[in-house]
Every structure is written in structure tokens, then in C-alpha cells.
């Protein structure tokens, strides 16, 4: 009797594990995002749901293309390596299209133009732009284009798990500057207008794209068609007005 | 009488002279082979596939040094903090006993990662706030050094665990030892120093060695407070090279070399002390 129970129990456990393992995929397209990058992707403080420019855009594209998507909230550096190994089907996370990244995964057409900008404390007068950065302590989020740019400039880079920590450390006075995408930096400055300001102008030209796993080339086309459709409807302008206008 | 082989005189002499663990070679046990094995595996990976393995190790070199520096310097501080914590905890003076117990209970109750984040992101802001409100410019301009804060956070957290290990070790020595030493005219400090602690060391060495290995692994948490240690360097490498399989595997192997090596050193020291006492 006891043995029978153990057998049945083992069988049921094994079966449920198996179902759980298969159920995970579920046919939905998994779209990764790092929801620490306002206003492109962040968590709504009340509902704890993903919100932001990218989230709205992705939902609209999925609707146009008739795709069933599911967001996965994941940190930035595992997101990058997860895309390279096709752990996720796609990623929309204010991701700049770069040559290095294009070797590892595919991209949709660009949907937004941004660039890097330097943020400093409001009382800082000696950092006037990117050229003042070599040798300074500069923060950025690990693996972002700001991080890469800072290293190329010869700054002493500190890489943070998320960009919010970098801005916090800047306000704490433990680093001299932060390099980040301009819409995001302007958002942080708007929220902390008494503490932060920009130094110099935007110094790179970058385009955000939706990353797609290499094994799913058909998704690129579907996303591009959906993107084109929503662009024609003027959704990008609507989203800029909704998410970015308040900062700029 | 059937014997498989007759022992030679030399063998017999060895047998007579054999005291287990006495000869230095016995302290170097077979498990050193595991350390060499893992190190050899890393070397083979680096030689066969210089890209990405060797590239990654070269990129991570300074991070490896930071990990070792952070671990060893906080461990030295932890050993000191633990001793004082334990003596205070066993003190007859209520204030010392109470504050040490409070320290242990609080620090053991907060996750190390939360403590590290607090020390680096909240503590400096508090100091500056204090400086502003009290009008002390030296405090208002305070800025924390990430490595120093990392070492401090590890020390304060692990010091609590170490306090308990020391306390258990000291309490394991029969009370009569202390009483006998005191009756011989030694004062409290002398009795501790010459009678109780030398005996307690044998008891606490194994758990202390264990703590060192745990500390080495937990030092990876300082990477969240921007200390460029092994883990952070590995994440930086993986985020630009997009190779999670080789990247994380290499990081795991490097940690394994360090922890296996430190466990061997700990076991060597343990055996050395236990023979001296025999």
C-alpha cells in the first residue's frame, strides 16, 4: 500500500514537472524587457504592471501583426546574453542597434532615435561635456551603450546593475557623471531638477530597434510590418507625446 | 601462516614511527588533486579556445585580485571583530553582553546583500544629511569608496557570525580551565590568552575555515555596489561578448579554484594545530 502510494506520488510529480516544463513556452512569443529604464519601460507603482513607451509600442505592433506576446522582465546583461542564446524570442528595451549586437541577434527597423548625454550634479562646473570625462569616475548601466561609450572615452567607468542606482550614486556625490540615453537622462533630471543637470549636448546618434532571436527570422518581418502599420497611424508621435513630452 | 608479503625493515620502521597526521606530507592530502584538476581544466580551456576563455581571464585579472583583496582584508577584520564580539558576549558586564548580543541578532537577521546596499547607498547619504544639518563641511562632502564600503559591510555582517563561532569555542572549554588558571594567579586576560584561547582555537578552526570559504563566495555580492570584482568583470565581459555559456562557466571555475584552494589551506592549518596538541 505504502509502496503503491510512493509510486503514484512519484508519477504525479514527474508528470506535473513535465507539464510545467512544456507549459512554459505556451506558444506565446516571449518579449524580454528590462523595466528599469523610464520612460521606455518601467513598472507602474500601483499595479506593478509593465508600462512605458516600448511596452505600448510592442503591444500595438503585436496587435497589428496578430501575434500573441508575453513580456518577461529581466535585468539588462542577462537580457543581452539571453537574446544571443535565444532564451527569449525578442526584446524591446530601448536597445540601440549596434554592429556588435547585430552579430548576435537580428533587429527590426529602427523605431526611435536617441543619443548619449552626460549628466552631472547641478553645482558641477568643470565637466562641460563628454570631453571632460577622461579620468573621471563615470557611471552607466552595465553593458549599455553609455557604458561602452564611456570606456571608449577613457573614463573610469563604474557599471551599475540598473541606471537608477547610477543616478542615485551621482546625487550621493560618489561619482562625477553618468552617461545615459537622452530621453532617460532628461526624465531623471526633470524629477531631480534641484540636483542634476546635463553637461554638453547629445554626442551619439543611435537608433532603437526590437531585437529578435536569430532562430526566428520570420518575426523580424512580422514586427517590421506591424511597426510600419503603427507608424503610418502616427502612433510614435502619440507615444512621444504621452511618455516623453513631459520631460523635454 | 600465509602472508601476502613480508614487510621489510624499512616498512616496519615507518610503521613504528607513524603518528597519524604528524609528517608534513600527510597534511597535504589527496584533495589537492582536485584543486590541480580544476586549475588544469581552466588552463586547457584557455589554451584550446583562447577566444573567449583566455580573453576573459585576462579581462578579469584585476577583478580576481579585487576579490582576493576584499576577501582577505575583510577576513582579517572579521577575525578581530569576532574575538571582541565573543569576549563582550561572555563578559560579566551587562552593557557589553547586551550590546554584543544585540549586534549579533540584528546583523544575522538582515541579508548580506541588503546590508551591502545599505552601506553604500544609504549610509553616505545619512552622513551628508547629518553634515548639512549640523553645518560640518567635512561630513557634507563625505563620499564613500566602494571597496571600503564593501569590506566594511562584509566585516560587520560576518563579524556577527564569527562572534558566535568564537563564543561557542570558548564556551566549549571547561570552566575549570579558567578557574585553575585564575587560582594560579593569572589575571583574566592572561588566563584567556595562555590557557583558554589556545585550546579554543582547535575547536573553532574548522568552522572558521568554513567561514572563509563562505566569505569568498559571498564577496561576489559586493559587485552590486560597483566594486569591480570577479563577478562584475565577468558580467561586463558577457554583456559585450554575448557568450553566457563560456562566460558563466569560466566564472564558476575560477571561484571553484579559489574556494577549493582555500579549503585545502584551511585543512592544512587545522591538521597542523591538531598535531601540536597531541
Residue contact B242–A81, C-beta within 8 A: yes
Q: Which residues in chain A land under pLDDT 70?
A: 1-26, 246-248
Contact assessment for residue A111 and residue A235, using Cβ atoms and an 8 Å cutoff: no
Mutate to test the interface with A, among B116, B126, B243, B244 (most CBs of A within 10 A): B244
User: Considering its fold, how many domains does chain B have in total?
Assistant: 1
Round to whole Å and give the CA distance between B67 and B61: 10
Q: Is residue B94 part of a domain?
A: yes
> Looking at the complex, does the CB of residue A107 fall below 8 Å from at least one CB of chain B?
no
Round to whole Å and give the CA distance between B275 and B277: 5
Q: Is residue B5 part of a domain?
A: no
* pLDDT in the model for residue B94: 95
Q: Which residue of B has its CA nearest to A98?
A: B240
B5 SS3 class: coil
Angle (deg, nearest 10), helices B146-172 and B55-89: 50
CATH number, domain at B78?
Answer: 1.10.3720.10
| Reported pTM | 0.79
Residue contact B121–A161, C-beta within 8 A: no
* pLDDT in the model for residue A48: 87
**Mean pLDDT across the stretch B29-47?**
91
- Name the architecture of domain A27-112+207-244: 3-Layer(aba) Sandwich (3.40)
Residue contact A80–B243, C-beta within 8 A: no
Q: Is residue B176 part of a domain?
A: yes
**Mean pLDDT across the stretch B136-159?**
90
> Looking at the complex, does the CB of residue A218 fall below 8 Å from at least one CB of chain B?
no
* Parts of chain A belonging to CATH 3.40.190.10: 27-112+207-244, 116-204
Nearest-CB residue to A80 (from B128, B228, B239): B239
Nearest-CB residue to B226 (from A80, A160, A173): A160
For B184, the domain range is 35-41+49-277
Q: What is the mean pLDDT of chain B?
A: 88
Give B141 or A97, the one with higher predicted confidence.
Answer: A97
Identify the band that residue B12 occupies on the pLDDT scale cut at 50, 70 and 90. low
Round to whole Å and give the CA distance between B275 and B245: 45
Mutate to test the interface with B, among A87, A149, A152, A159 (most CBs of B within 10 A): A159
Round to whole Å and give the CA distance between B234 and B57: 9
Residue found by looking up cell 571632460 in the block: A132
Q: Read off the pLDDT of residues A145-175 as tens digits, 9 standing for 90 and up.
A: 999 999 999 999 999 988 999 999 999 889 9
Residue contact B240–A143, C-beta within 8 A: yes
Residue A153: which of A120, A179, A174 has the closest Cα?
A179
* pLDDT in the model for residue B25: 60
Contacts of B238 in chain A (CB under 8 A): 77, 80-81
Nearest-CB residue to B143 (from A80, A143, A174): A174
Whole-Å CA distances, B130 to A139, B127, B134, B193? 25, 5, 6, 41
Round to whole Å and give the CA distance between A33 and A29: 13
Q: Is residue B27 part of a domain?
A: no
Q: Is residue B13 part of a domain?
A: no
Q: Read off the pLDDT of residues B187-217 as tens digits, 9 standing for 90 and up.
A: 999 999 999 999 999 899 999 999 999 999 9
Q: Where does A116-204 sit in CATH, by number?
A: 3.40.190.10
Annotate A199-220 with b (16+ C-beta within 10 A) or e (fewer): beebbbebbbbbbbbeeeeebb
Amino acid at each position: 500500500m505504502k509502496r503503491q502510494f510512493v509510486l503514484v506520488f512519484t508519477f504525479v510529480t514527474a508528470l506535473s514537472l513535465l507539464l510545467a516544463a512544456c507549459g512554459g513556452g505556451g506558444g506565446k512569443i516571449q518579449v524580454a524587457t528590462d523595466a528599469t529604464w523610464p520612460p521606455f519601460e518601467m513598472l507602474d507603482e500601483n499595479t506593478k504592471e509593465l508600462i512605458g513607451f516600448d511596452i505600448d509600442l510592442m503591444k500595438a505592433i503585436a496587435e497589428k501583426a496578430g501575434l500573441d506576446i508575453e513580456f518577461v522582465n529581466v535585468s539588462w546583461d542577462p537580457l543581452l546574453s539571453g537574446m544571443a542564446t535565444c532564451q527569449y524570442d525578442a526584446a524591446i528595451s530601448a536597445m540601440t542597434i549596434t554592429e556588435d549586437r547585430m552579430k548576435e541577434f537580428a533587429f527590426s527597423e529602427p523605431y526611435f532615435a536617441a543619443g548619449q548625454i552626460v549628466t552631472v550634479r547641478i553645482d558641477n562646473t568643470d565637466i562641460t561635456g563628454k570631453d571632460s570625462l577622461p579620468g573621471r569616475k563615470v557611471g552607466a548601466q552595465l553593458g549599455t551603450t553609455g557604458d561602452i561609450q564611456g570606456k571608449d572615452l577613457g573614463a573610469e567607468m563604474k557599471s551599475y546593475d540598473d541606471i537608477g542606482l547610477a543616478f542615485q550614486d551621482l546625487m550621493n556625490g560618489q561619482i562625477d557623471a553618468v552617461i545615459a540615453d537622452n530621453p532617460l537622462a532628461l526624465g531623471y533630471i526633470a524629477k531631480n531638477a534641484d540636483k542634476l543637470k546635463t553637461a554638453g549636448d547629445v554626442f551619439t546618434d543611435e537608433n532603437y530597434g526590437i531585437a529578435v532571436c536569430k532562430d526566428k527570422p520570420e518575426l523580424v518581418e512580422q514586427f517590421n510590418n506591424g511597426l510600419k502599420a503603427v507608424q503610418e497611424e502616427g502612433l510614435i508621435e502619440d507615444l512621444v507625446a504621452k511618455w516623453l513630452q513631459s520631460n523635454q | 601462516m600465509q602472508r601476502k608479503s613480508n614487510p621489510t625493515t624499512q616498512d616496519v620502521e615507518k610503521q613504528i614511527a607513524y603518528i597519524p597526521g604528524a609528517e608534513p606530507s600527510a597534511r597535504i592530502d589527496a584533495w589537492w588533486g582536485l584543486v590541480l584538476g580544476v586549475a588544469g581544466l581552466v588552463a586547457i580551456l584557455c589554451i584550446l579556445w583562447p577566444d573567449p576563455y583566455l580573453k576573459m581571464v585576462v579581462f578579469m585579472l584585476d577583478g580576481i585580485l579585487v576579490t582576493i583583496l576584499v576577501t582577505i582584508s575583510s577576513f582579517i577584520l572579521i577575525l578581530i571583530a569576532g574575538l571582541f564580539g565573543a569576549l563582550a558576549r561572555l563578559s560579566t558586564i551587562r552593557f557589553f553582553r547586551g550590546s554584543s548580543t544585540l549586534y549579533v541578532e540584528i546583523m544575522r537577521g538582515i541579508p548580506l546583500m541588503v546590508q551591502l546596499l545599505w552601506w553604500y547607498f544609504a549610509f553616505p547619504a545619512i552622513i551628508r544629511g547629518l553634515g548639512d544639518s549640523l553645518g560640518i563641511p567635512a561630513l557634507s562632502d563625505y563620499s564613500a569608496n566602494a571597496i571600503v564600503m564593501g569590506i566594511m559591510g562584509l566585516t560587520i555582517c560576518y563579524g556577527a557570525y564569527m562572534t558566535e563561532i568564537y563564543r561557542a569555542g570558548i564556551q566549549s572549554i571547561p570552566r575549570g580551565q579558567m578557574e585553575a588558571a585564575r587560582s594560579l594567579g593569572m589575571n583574566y586576560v592572561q588566563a584567556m590568552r595562555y590557557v583558554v584561547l589556545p585550546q579554543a582555537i582547535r575547536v573553532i578552526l574548522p568552522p572558521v575555515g568554513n567561514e572563509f570559504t563562505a566569505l569568498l563566495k559571498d564577496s561576489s555580492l559586493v559587485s552590486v555596489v560597483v566594486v569591480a570584482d570577479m563577478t562584475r568583470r565577468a558580467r561586463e565581459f558577457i554583456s559585450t561578448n554575448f557568450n553566457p555559456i563560456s562566460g558563466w562557466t569560466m566564472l564558476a571555475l575560477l571561484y571553484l579554484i579559489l574556494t577549493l584552494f582555500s579549503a585545502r589551506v584551511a585543512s592544512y592549518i587545522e591538521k597542523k594545530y591538531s598535531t601540536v596538541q597531541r
